[in-house]
Structure 1
Amino acid sequence: MPPSDPVSPEAVDRLLAAPPEDAAEQSPAAPQERPSLRGRAVARARRTARAAAARRLGAVYQRAAEPVNRRLELMVRDAVDGDPAVEQVRELASRGSLDEDRLRHRDEAERVTRVNLELLKGEVRHVQELLDELGMAFAPATGLAGAGARFAELREAVHGLERRMRSSAGPTDPGRSTGPAAPSTADAPEGAAAGSLPDRSDQLESTLFDYVGFERRFRGDPEEILTTLVDRYGDLLRDHQPVVDIGCGRGELLGRLSEQDVAVIGIEPDPGMAVEARERGIEVHEELAGPWLRSVPDHSLGSIITTHVLEHLQLDDLIEVLELAVTKLRPGGVFISETPNPASLIVLGNSYLLDPTHVRPLHPSLLAFLCETAGFRDVRLQFFSPATGYHLPRVDLSGHREAPDWAVELAGSVDQGFSRLNEVLFGPQDYAVVATTPPAAD
């Protein structure tokens, strides 16, 4: 067979697996027969042919496998060369893992950082010493931790002194201001005694106005209002009993609290509403807040709440209610008053002007100031119900990639302006002042 002839693998396997002819000739049937000279020559020629065929086959396989092996070697080399991890390993190996310059720079940066940290610690210690000295100057017994309480005590002492000076001023003092201790008699009828008139708050502005019907139409769903009040103040009122609701109306809030075994008292001057509140099994006093508060013992109440009441009072009557509340509440007692928020201009144009019995809008800062001067310790403001339905929409282009930079910047400026307008024009429609009386003296 010429060397160039193709040899199939099957043929080679059959050739190699075939038994030699001389073995076939020596069959068991004739074990004693001796092969002839011609037979031995033929067998030797066949063995030589098989060996030559096997060598040619090996050469063919080797020539066919060489390009495959070379291609596999190139593929492996390309894959290794393209791996960034292998490249980093080679780079680190070539540089000796980490060169000495980088180690030197790292050590220097660590030393500088440690020095700066020690300097910063020294400055913090110095500031702490100054704060400790300042705290000891204000509150020698407790230091900085008691400085806030000491400030509150000083404020209460100053306001208490002002109240005593105002109440002790004679009627002929030129600097005397009309206060709750001596109601004004400027509007007294002729012939009436100076001390025989009730406070201005005891006089109804009109007996013809149907306020009950007005509330039913414009105040909103009573059940929703009740749920809102319980959510906002229920837990705080339960923790400070007994609860007094000044202007309790039909007694919805007190009725809900009494169902939870909370001791409650209602103050309601309107006879019709007082009757409805009593039908809920609530103790209701059919009079105004000032006279009733003056009649109860000092430090006997846990909390006082008024909702949309203080804006109906004259200034002197309002101050009297606040000062009496401080006196009648226990140490740590709570005073809550919710009222329309005139800082949101939509309130002035809608709900506030709609009610003809409102006397004056009470700005949140003003009511907080009045509570402080009355003697309350901790005064906080909480805001509710922003008029989101009127809010100007935002122009946000931050998510638009195709928008130019100048348009995004302009939209941001417009959004800031809209946010300020929304706060001033359509901000929270109600707010509450939550104040506490000073704790008991040690």
Structure 2
Amino acid sequence: MLQRQAERFAIAADDNESRLYRKVILRIIPFIFICYVLNYIDRVNVSFAKLQFQSDLNLTDASYGLGVGLFYVGYILFEVPSNLLLQKIGARKTITRIMCLWGLISGAMAFVSRPEQFYLARILLGAAEAGFFPGIILYLTFWFPNRMRGRVMSLFVLAIAVSGMVGGPISGLIMQHLGGFQGFKSWQWLFLIEGMLPVMMGIAAFFVLDDRPRDARWLSDGEKDLLTANLTIENRTDGHSGAQALLSALRRPKLWMATFGYFSVTWAGTVLNFWTPTIIQRSGVASIFQVGMLSAVPYAIGAVGMLALCHHSDRVLERHGHFFAAVFIAGCAALAVAYASWNSALSIICLAVLAVGYLTAIALFWTIPTSFLSEQEAPGCIAFISSVGQIGSLVAPTLFGYVSDRTGSLAMGAGVVAAVLIAGGSAVLSLRFFRMNTG
């Protein structure tokens, strides 16, 4: 009798907790989802602008790849300071600052006229955006326990797929129809229009987001206590400041192995995010609008695959093997893309498989380091992993563009991408055994 009563109380508690987390998800996730969609569109819309402004700015594939990569110079330099500042001043102020700055700089990209200006604008855009992605990852750890983060992260990373599905057709429409309006070229309108929205959302962030559960006026005291208690059970504290905790964590091999894993994932992102329009165009699709529409297909398929794999990872509570499987799939698909470039249908299929692997790896990866970092270590270490990982985003497009110029084919560059992905996946997979051996 007592056992049945206890079970009923446990079920009721589980139901109350589920309702509470649904409430939190509906309050937080849609807003940051839209913000990240805009973030990704503004980061990769250069891949569509390239189809026309490459000749206007006298850019080769190699110089375009360099410009794409230079974004990450500013990004890497300011990412850790931004996350440490977020820990002090909160997410509202940090996200407002980041979004308003990046929107203004993205809009200013419309006025570049020389390669040097393109390079400078990309560096400044990276500096403005620095801290947004790791800041959101950190922000989600303030609200959700680790057992829920696979699904929550997948909902957030789904924004990458949606940005591809929405950004491609919208960018294609702008490029197809606005050329010459008010004296601006179509690629200039692309930057102007897609730069205004983040500024508006950045201002809204200040009023919509709450820094932590205890600051949320839309939660009752009991709900705040439950959310805080769930996080307190998991969080470890070490008494260090954020900077001290980061320096201490840098002495742990586990952190460096995880960092290399994330470094590898960004190589897959380079192929998918910055070369998809070019790959589709070179496979025989002439219309820019059709290129934009077809560019949405890999992201749509990738989103479905990511949600399924992340849900399975949460259900069995296994991360490392799922991550390795995702990057292995992405590596094989990146290699296949190079050999399918003669056929548009095959190219899109390969890009779709690449999207499944890439999006899944991004979503699952952040459940791994956040499970072993203390509360003090998390802000600096998340930003450190992200910034070092973005070195891949700096090196990969430059290398990919250079090899494409020299060989006239994507095959050699794709082979390097595949090798890096599988090596990074192996490093993260080994963390599972590292943990077992060290306790």
TM range (shorter): under 0.3
- Indicate the structure with greater strand content: 1
By relative contact order (CA 8 Å, sep 6+), the higher-ranking structure is 2
- Indicate the structure with greater helix content: 2
Larger radius of gyration: 1
